[in-house]
């Protein structure tokens, strides 16, 4: 595709529901990142994949958050038992190289609202 795509663009969940957010990176990009952006703040790192390997998940706020990229392309961020504090925009980014020095291309984000 032409860029990074994310779906859904908007998600409303009731507290306690599980949600799954999808990211389609640019074809051939090795690295994939997930960020969480709360209202009025900058993005905060959640996790990083190089191909199918999750190399860093230090930013995941709790064990309710889980990310996978089983075939090294599409990635899913899953949030179990959503809480109101999970409301944010979730951004996905991909980059061509594996060192992190390459430019990251960001998707438009998924806005999650937990009621």
Partner 1 sequence: AQSVTQPDIHITVSEGASLELRCNYSYGATPYLFWYVQSPGQGLQLLLKYFSGDTLVQGIKGFEAEFKRSQSSFNLRKPSVHWSDAAEYFCAVGAGTNAGKSTFGDGTTLTVKP
Of 21-29, 39-47, 67-75, 79-87, which part binds partner 1 (CB under 8 A)? 39-47
Residue among 24, 26, 29, 48 that touches partner 1 (CB under 8 A):
48
Q: Does 90 bind partner 1 (CB under 8 A)?
A: no
Residue among 8, 20, 41, 61 that touches partner 1 (CB under 8 A):
41
Residue 104 and residue 95 in contact, taking contact as beta carbons nearer than 8 Å: yes
Residues with Cβ within 8 Å of 92's Cβ and at least 6 positions away in sequence, in order, are 4, 6, 23, 25, 32, 33, 34, 35, 75, 77, 106, 107, 109
Answer positive or negative: Cα dihedral of 25, 31, 36, 42.
negative
Query: In this complex, which beta carbon is closest to partner 1, that of residue 58 or of residue 84?
Result: 58
State the minimum distance, in angstroms, from the CB of residue 18 to partner 1.
25
Instruction: Give 95's strand partners.
Output: 31
Q: Does 104 bind partner 1 (CB under 8 A)?
A: yes
Binding region for partner 1 (CB under 8 A): 3-4, 31, 33, 35, 40-45, 48, 56, 58-59, 91, 93, 95, 99-101, 103-109
């Amino acid at each position: 595709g032409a860029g990074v795509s994310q779906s859904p663009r908007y998600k409303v969940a009731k507290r306690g529901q599980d949600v799954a957010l999808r990211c389609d990176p640019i074809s051939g990009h090795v690295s994939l990142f997930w960020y969480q952006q709360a209202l009025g703040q900058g993005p905060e790192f959640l996790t990083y994949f190089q191909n199918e390997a999750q190399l860093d998940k230090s930013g995941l706020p709790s064990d309710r958050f889980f990310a996978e990229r089983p075939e090294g392309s599409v990635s899913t961020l899953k949030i179990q038992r959503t809480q109101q504090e999970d409301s944010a925009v979730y951004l996905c980014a991909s980059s061509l190289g594996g060192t992190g020095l390459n430019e990251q291309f960001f998707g438009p984000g998924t806005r999650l609202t937990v009621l």
